[in-house]
Each structure stands twice: as structure tokens, then as C-alpha cells.
Amino acid sequence: MSQHIAQRARNIPPFHVMELLARAQALQAQGRDIIHMEVGEPDFPLAPTILEAAQRYLAQGRVDYTPAAGLPALREAIARHYAERFGVAVSPERILVTAGASGALMLAHALLTEPGDHWLLPDPGYPCNQQFVRAFSGLPQALAVDASSAFQPRADQVAAAWTAQTRGIMLASPANPTGTLIAPAELARIHALVKARGGSLLVDEIYQGLSYGTAPSTALSLGEDVFVINSFSKYFGMTGWRLGWLVAPQACVRDLERLAQHYTICASAPAQHTALAAFSAESTAIFEARRAELDVRRRLLLDGLEALGLQVPARPEGAFYAWADVSAVAADAAVLARRFLEDAGVATTPGIDFVRRQPERWLRLAYTTEVGRIEEALRRMRSVL
Amino acid sequence: MSQHIAQRARNIPPFHVMELLARAQALQAQGRDIIHMEVGEPDFPLAPTILEAAQRYLAQGRVDYTPAAGLPALREAIARHYAERFGVAVSPERILVTAGASGALMLAHALLTEPGDHWLLPDPGYPCNQQFVRAFSGLPQALAVDASSAFQPRADQVAAAWTAQTRGIMLASPANPTGTLIAPAELARIHALVKARGGSLLVDEIYQGLSYGTAPSTALSLGEDVFVINSFSKYFGMTGWRLGWLVAPQACVRDLERLAQHYTICASAPAQHTALAAFSAESTAIFEARRAELDVRRRLLLDGLEALGLQVPARPEGAFYAWADVSAVAADAAVLARRFLEDAGVATTPGIDFVRRQPERWLRLAYTTEVGRIEEALRRMRSVL
């Protein structure tokens, strides 16, 4: 039987960072000391409050299905988090708990994307977004953004790129791979424009909480009509648990809940029960200490990269990435990343995962490893250059 | 902003069993004693071996991402399970670990289904299957099956229903809602036919291991070209963990792995590490004892239903459901289910979730509650009839 492979599944580029991680792990298995700056996963252990919550839940001895949209107590806790931390009223009904932000993106596009629909995606951006659009036979449209707007889209660019086929725009703040935030006034202009065009605005806030200059904000403050994606992976440090959420307009909740019932049954019950502990004062104290530690790493890395001749043209104010222009020191970032890994044991991610225009210029470095290791990585990278 | 809702998300029927569960839980919250026979989730606590594995994993203090296709050790354990229990050689590479069988169904249809493709789905059947096909703009085609073939498709029916638009057929053995198995010779005929037509055969084996007469079997013994869906939810009792797997032809593995990278990052890491304990001799002894207990419940329920005048025309030999024809005692199964719940505190599922033809005739009862409760449920149902 030769299977027919659907268009969406043919010629998907690999998520290179994952293949690079595999190579780094293989080198490590051979006994090499590898410094990991390639994957968006901090090196912190589980917060003790999270670990204890997981252990308490398990000790009950039952792990049953939850409602499709998530545990009511968790949806309420997320709603309280929006009220207390951002001063935004979000009804718990509008919050659907999902298997990571991935599950939220899948649900949102299942809800919104018809075959042939166009979505504007800032380039550089999170590569999987293209595949969520393509999953539902939509057509991702790269919206080129550059350092002049901190790699965030501007309303005039969105207006110029919008066509009759455009269903909506996705953006992220803080963004991956650049770590940059969108200016609130610009986001408000984009929101107004999308609203006027009858489209949908989908904002990825999975790095919310991890910002180092300005206080965290949410696009939900713009109105009830914005779709917001979030996650327990980054600020809350729960990567492997695979838990996130979608905030949707009230009018879409019933349809989304039915999609979730059919597509997933529910998100992981242990993850949901554990995440109830993520918003306590004790947990917040831990997460804020970690944020301060990430800020120290960030400054160290940015200074170090500059000293190496790698330019970071838009200073990252959030997430845990630096997006470096290597053109002053190397002709091809992919070759450079390979040399960093093979010759110096430093794993980084070449730009090809994240950007279509001039991927050879860009390298993403995650400051997800401790200060001493970042210093060592900088020394090793210098030896290669 | 009035959002455009995609065709696939409009007018999705609710998964009624979930809404009925919500009503049952509401009654319970009011202090009513409800006997749950509506949801496909056994009442057994976590097996001690599973609980201990989860606790051991958590005690390490880290919950990191895993490779997209799953922990290598878990894929190898599943492959060994096929070799040891079924005598079928399956390369670990062909096994992708997913967020429940739901995640496996999503991946399989993302891989195979083009917009406009038809899939043959036995009716009655698992209702979510229609939505996985529709997710990718495919068109589910109901293939009416009846008690004469134990509610399983026959090759001649498949041949008659197959058209140029047909991409493939999904079937389940043991099946939900009927609990019936497909005869191995019939499955082999269907496999040959699908192969001859250049289509895909997707077999749901999530209730594998839960069979009461014949020894469990797998469609993988037919050849490498069959797609098989499986789950840790049912035989292994890990419902709320949301962990399953997909076995795919070798030629599709690379495409599937990339889809999984983009769509999910990975399945729950705690679930995967915990599931490593599911195949041990100690775990198997626990699961086999539970299977024996389910068999006792099955016989009790079947005898009891017959005494009530509810007919079960195809005796369930697997899973944990009885599919009962109520037409001798009631005009509408949905009304009857409502009365069972409201008047007698017995939650059952009306046929409307599972069958298009004559849903008013059918009721699904899950024997997922203990013997004393099933006896009590039978007494209470008698009082209503």
C-alpha cells in the first residue's frame, strides 16, 4: 500500500532546532561537554511549590478525565491572574485549558481558518505558526519585519499586506526568536485595523511575565475580541507538562469547547491539578527570582555577543533569546552554528528555523543556562571566530 | 469584531455524553447519589505500579520536553509489547507517542486527509472520528453496520461504498459503543480491498487487551501498511494522563515526526515516563485482574439488561460497553436516558452520540462501576420502566 500523503504534510521543513538538539545530545552521549543555548527550555528544576502540588495530587491515587475546557478551578485561577496582575476582567468561560500553547494554536486555527485563507505572520517568527495555518489548508503569508520596529509588525505594514483573502494576523509579544515586545500603541492600532477589516487578531503571550524593562501587559486589555495564547511552559517553568490556554471571545466559546471535546477529550489532568499551584504567592516569588536571574544572564550574553562582533540590533526585553546578526563575522550562520557545536561544544540555533529573508545572517541564542556556562560559551565561541 | 467561524467548527454536535456527565455531576453536587454508566472511564484507582513510577519520576525534580515522537525508551517498550504479546515485529521508529489516542488520530488525518477526501466510518461508531476527518476538510461517510456483522464492517460493504473520492476507512476493534470485535478473516479481506484501491486502513485498537473471549490481536499482523491507533487510557487505566500512540508505515514516519514537532512539541513528559511502568509483569498482573473484574460486570449487566427487556443484539466481547436496543420498552432512548438520570440517578448515554440511523433505539451503558452499583442501577432502572 503506498499511502497518499496530504499536501500539508509534504515537504514540511524540519524544526531544525530539534534536529540540532538531537545532534547535541548525541555528542553529549559520546562524552562531550555541550553548553545548551539552542532550545527554549530553561535549566531551572521544577519549582518546589509545583513539585509539591504534583505530589499531593498523585497521592490521591486517581487521574481522571477533566472537563474538555479544563478544570473549572484552573480556569478561575487564570481569570483571577488576569484580574490581579493585569487589571483585566476575563470571564473563566472564555478560557480553554489546552495541551500547551500548541493545543491552543490548533484550536484557534481549527475555529477560524478555512481552506485558502491567508494569515499574516511576522517574519522572523515562531516557525510552527506556519504549520498550524497549513494544517487547516490556510496559507501563511510572511510579513517581513526588521529591527527598525524591534521585529514587530507596524499597523501600516499590516494594512499594506491585508487582502480580501486575509483572515487575520498572528503576532507574539514577547516574541520568539527576537525577545522583543510590541509597543502598546502599535498593537492598539493593529487591533483597530484588524477589527475594521473584519479579521481576527491572535496574540501569542506565552512569554508573558518574562520581561525585563516594562511591566508585563496583555492584549486582552484591548477588548474581548482578541484571541490570546498562553502557556505554563515559560514563566511558570512547566515545559514538559504540556499545558497552556486559549482566551477567546465569548461568542466563540461554545464552538471551541465542542472542538476541544472531540479533538482532545481534555488536557493532561496531572498537569492541570499541578498548575493550580502556579499562581500562589510562594510560586510567584520563585518565578520572579528566576526572572531576575534570567535578566542577569541576558545582560551578560548581550555584552558578550557584542564583544564577539555579533550584533543584536533590537535589544530583547522579554523571553530568553537573543537574535544575533552574525554577518560581520561569518558568511553563513548555519555553518557557524555547526562549528560552534562541533568545534566548541556550544549549541545555538541558526536563523533558518525562524526567518525566510537572509536566514544566513541570523543566529538565535537562548540564555537558558547559568551564568558560568554562558561565560564559558562566550569564551568557546571566541576560540572559533 | 465579529469573528468568522470556519465551516468545520460550525454546527458541531456536542459530544452529548460529556454534557450528560456535566448534568450528572450537577445532580451529584446537589447531594443526589448518581451511578455512572455514561463515560468510558473505569472506576479503578491508578495501579500502584503506575503511581510509584510517577512518584519516582517526579522526585527527580525535572519535567523537560521529550523528543517529538516520544521517549526512545517508551517507543522501544511499546515495540517489545507488540513482539511479546502479539508476536508482531514493529520497529520503534514506526511508533509515535501522542497526547492520547486523540493526538494519534489528529496526526494520522493531518498526514492523510486532503480537503474533499471521503473516509468511510462505521455507523454506529466513535463520534469524534467524524470531527478528525472534518478538521482537515475531509468528508466523513457513514457506513451503516448492524448486528448481523456484530456492528463491524464487511468487505463487501466497504467495496460497495468505496468511490473515487474515498481516501480510506477507519474501524475499531474492540469497538465503541458496541464492544464488538471484528473477525480476523473479515479484517484481512478489508485490508486486501483497501490495498487494492490504493487507500489507507486506520484501525483503532484503544480497547486492545480488554477482550473477554478471544485473545487480543492487532491489525499490525496484516502488514506494515496499516495505521494503528492505541492508548494508555483503557487497558492500562491512564485516562487523565492523556497518552496514546500511533503506529504508521515506515515511509510515513519522517513526515509524521515533523508534523508532531510542529503541532505538539511532545506528549506529556510525566505521562511518558510513568507509562514506562505499564508493561511490567507486576502491572500486567494488575491489569489482568481488572479485566477479569470487568468480565464479571459485563455478564451481570448483560443478564440484567435482558431481564429488563433491553436487548443487546451483538454480545460485546471487548471494551466495557453494552449497546442496548431499548425499542421494546421505550419510544425514545434520549427520553429514557433522561428519566434514568433524573428519576433514578443512573447516568447512561443515549445513542445519538454514536449512530445516525435510528438513534432513538439505542442506549450505551458502560460497566465501569462496581458490581454492587451495577446491581443497584439495574434495580433503579426497573423502577423507571
| Cβ contacts of B68 on chain A, cutoff 8 Å | 15, 18
Helix axes B16-29, B333-344, angle to 10 degrees: 20
Are the C-beta atoms of residues A45 and A378 closer than 8 Å to each other?
no
Where residue B11 sits, what CATH number does that domain have? 3.90.1150.10
* DSSP letters spanning A186-224: HHHHHHHHHHHHT-EEEEE-TTTT-BSSSPP--GGGG-T
Sign of the dihedral defined by the CA atoms of residues B355, B163, B158, A9, in that order:
negative
Confidence band of A25 (pLDDT split at 50, 70, 90): confident
Q: Quick one: closest CA in A to B42, which residue?
A: A64
Among B63, B191, B238, most A C-beta atoms within 10 A, so best to mutate, is B63
| Cβ contacts of A136 on chain B, cutoff 8 Å | 6, 8, 135-137
Pairwise CB contact (< 8 Å): B264 & A3: no
Which pLDDT score, from 0 to 100, does residue A47 have? 98
Do B143 and B224 reside in the same domain of the chain?
yes
Pairwise CB contact (< 8 Å): A6 & B200: no
The 10 Å Cβ neighbour count of residue A292 is 10
Of A16-20, A75-79, B326-330, which range is least confident? A16-20
| Closest by Cα among B256, B217, B181 to A6 | B256
Nearest to B263 among A3, A102, A239 (CB): A102
Mean pLDDT of A350-354: 93
Are the C-beta atoms of residues A119 and A169 closer than 8 Å to each other?
yes
Mean pLDDT of A359-384: 97
| Cβ contacts of A239 on chain B, cutoff 8 Å | 63-65, 269
| Closest by Cα among B1, B93, B36 to B348 | B36
The 10 Å Cβ neighbour count of residue B149 is 17
Do A176 and A193 reside in the same domain of the chain?
yes
- pLDDT tens per residue, range A297-306: 999 999 999 9
Range of the domain at B107: 49-278
User: Residue B59 pLDDT > 70, yes or no?
Assistant: yes
What percentage of chain B carries pLDDT values higher than 70? 99
Pairwise CB contact (< 8 Å): B270 & A54: yes
* Nearby residues of B279 by Cβ (< 8 Å), 6 or more positions away: B77, B78, B80, B81
Which pLDDT score, from 0 to 100, does residue A62 have? 96
**Does B340 map to a domain?**
yes
> What is the C-alpha separation between B185 and A377, in angstroms, rounded?
62
Pairwise CB contact (< 8 Å): B238 & A63: yes
Pairwise CB contact (< 8 Å): A262 & B131: yes
* Nearby residues of A300 by Cβ (< 8 Å), 6 or more positions away: A367, A371, A374, A375
> What is the C-alpha separation between B69 and B94, in angstroms, rounded?
9
- Distance of residue A285 Cα from the nearest chain B Cα, in angstroms: 18
Domain count, chain B: 2
Integer angstrom CA distances of residue A300 from A322, A374, B231, B291, B343: 11, 8, 46, 59, 69
Do A220 and A308 reside in the same domain of the chain?
no
| Cβ contacts of A3 on chain B, cutoff 8 Å | 111-112, 200, 225, 249, 251-252
Residue A69 backbone dihedrals phi, psi, to 5 degrees: -85, -5
* pTM summary value: 0.97
Q: Quick one: closest CA in A to B273, which residue?
A: A240
Nearest to B61 among A2, A45, A267 (CB): A45
**Does B63 map to a domain?**
yes
Confidence band of B130 (pLDDT split at 50, 70, 90): very high
Q: What is the 3-state secondary structure (H, E, C) of B342-367?
A: HHHCEECEEHHHCCCCCHHHEEEEEC
Do B69 and B35 reside in the same domain of the chain?
no
**Does B94 map to a domain?**
yes
Mean pLDDT of B58-64: 96
Do B124 and B141 reside in the same domain of the chain?
yes
- Distance of residue B206 Cα from the nearest chain A Cα, in angstroms: 14
Pairwise CB contact (< 8 Å): B198 & A266: no
| Cβ contacts of B269 on chain A, cutoff 8 Å | 239-242
**Does A2 map to a domain?**
no
User: Residue B47 pLDDT > 70, yes or no?
Assistant: yes
Q: Quick one: closest CA in A to B265, which residue?
A: A102
- pLDDT tens per residue, range A214-263: 899 999 999 999 999 999 999 999 999 999 999 999 999 999 999 999 99
Mean pLDDT of B36-58: 95
Mean pLDDT of A343-366: 96
**Does A1 map to a domain?**
no
- Distance of residue A43 Cα from the nearest chain B Cα, in angstroms: 9
User: Residue B2 pLDDT > 80, yes or no?
Assistant: no
Mean pLDDT of A79-96: 98
- Distance of residue B379 Cα from the nearest chain A Cα, in angstroms: 27
Q: Of A258, A278, A298, which residue is a domain's last?
A: A278
Do A27 and A154 reside in the same domain of the chain?
no
| Cβ contacts of B266 on chain A, cutoff 8 Å | 240, 242
Confidence band of B11 (pLDDT split at 50, 70, 90): confident
**C-alpha count within 13 angstroms, C-beta hemisphere, residue A338:** 9
Confidence band of A18 (pLDDT split at 50, 70, 90): confident
| Cβ contacts of B8 on chain A, cutoff 8 Å | 110, 136
Pairwise CB contact (< 8 Å): A198 & B2: yes
Do A83 and A96 reside in the same domain of the chain?
yes
Confidence band of B1 (pLDDT split at 50, 70, 90): low
Residue at grid coordinates 521543513: A13
- pLDDT tens per residue, range A173-185: 999 999 999 999 9
Which pLDDT score, from 0 to 100, does residue B25 have? 83
- Distance of residue A246 Cα from the nearest chain B Cα, in angstroms: 15
* Nearby residues of B372 by Cβ (< 8 Å), 6 or more positions away: none
- pLDDT tens per residue, range B213-270: 889 999 999 999 999 999 999 999 999 999 999 999 999 999 999 999 999 999 999 9
**Does B98 map to a domain?**
yes
Strand ranges (E), B283-361: 321-325, 346-347, 349-350
Where residue A237 sits, what CATH number does that domain have? 3.40.640.10
Do B254 and B107 reside in the same domain of the chain?
yes
- pLDDT tens per residue, range B168-216: 999 999 999 999 999 999 999 999 999 999 999 999 999 999 999 889 9
Helical (H) or strand (E) element with A170? strand A166-172
- pLDDT tens per residue, range A39-63: 888 899 999 999 999 999 999 999 9
User: Residue A188 pLDDT > 70, yes or no?
Assistant: yes
Which pLDDT score, from 0 to 100, does residue B322 have? 98
- pLDDT tens per residue, range B269-319: 999 999 999 999 999 999 999 999 999 999 999 999 999 999 999 999 999
**Does B2 map to a domain?**
no
Do A213 and A300 reside in the same domain of the chain?
no
* B276 three-state secondary structure: helix
Pairwise CB contact (< 8 Å): A264 & B132: no
Among A41, A261, A264, A354, most B C-beta atoms within 10 A, so best to mutate, is A261
What percentage of chain B carries pLDDT values higher than 90? 92
Q: Which residues does residue A123 pair with via DSSP β-bridges, in sequence order? A: A144
Q: Of A229, A262, A278, which residue is a domain's last?
A: A278
Tell me the longest C-alpha to C-alpha distance in chain A.
58
Are the C-beta atoms of residues A137 and A116 closer than 8 Å to each other?
yes
Are the C-beta atoms of residues B3 and B314 closer than 8 Å to each other?
no
Integer angstrom CA distances of residue B357 from A95, B152, B344, B360: 36, 15, 28, 9
Nearest to B239 among A51, A63, A262 (CB): A63
> What is the C-alpha separation between B302 and B308, in angstroms, rounded?
10
**C-alpha count within 13 angstroms, C-beta hemisphere, residue B304:** 21
Q: Is B26 exposed, middle or buried (0-12, 13-18, 19+ CB in 10 A)?
A: exposed
**Does B345 map to a domain?**
yes
Pairwise CB contact (< 8 Å): A64 & B239: yes
Do A106 and A66 reside in the same domain of the chain?
yes
Residue B88 backbone dihedrals phi, psi, to 5 degrees: -115, 130
Pairwise CB contact (< 8 Å): A259 & B55: no
Mean pLDDT, chain B, as a whole number?
96
The rounded Cα A109 to chain-centroid distance in angstroms is 16
User: Residue B51 pLDDT > 90, yes or no?
Assistant: yes
Q: Of A278, A304, A337, which residue is a domain's last?
A: A278
Are the C-beta atoms of residues A26 and B220 closer than 8 Å to each other?
no
Q: Is A358 exposed, middle or buried (0-12, 13-18, 19+ CB in 10 A)?
A: exposed
| Cβ contacts of A167 on chain B, cutoff 8 Å | 4
Pairwise CB contact (< 8 Å): A263 & B106: yes
| Cβ contacts of A198 on chain B, cutoff 8 Å | 1-2, 4
Hey, what's the cell of B243? Answer: 497518552
User: Residue B84 pLDDT > 70, yes or no?
Assistant: yes
* DSSP letters spanning B124-154: S--THHHHHHHHTT-EEEEEE--GGGTT---
User: Residue A283 pLDDT > 70, yes or no?
Assistant: yes
Mean pLDDT of A133-146: 98
> What is the C-alpha separation between A257 and A248, in angstroms, rounded?
11
- pLDDT tens per residue, range A59-74: 999 999 999 999 999 9
Do B274 and B316 reside in the same domain of the chain?
no
Nearest to A18 among B8, B259, B261 (CB): B261
User: Residue A1 pLDDT > 60, yes or no?
Assistant: no
Do B210 and B255 reside in the same domain of the chain?
yes
The 10 Å Cβ neighbour count of residue A329 is 16
Confidence band of A289 (pLDDT split at 50, 70, 90): very high
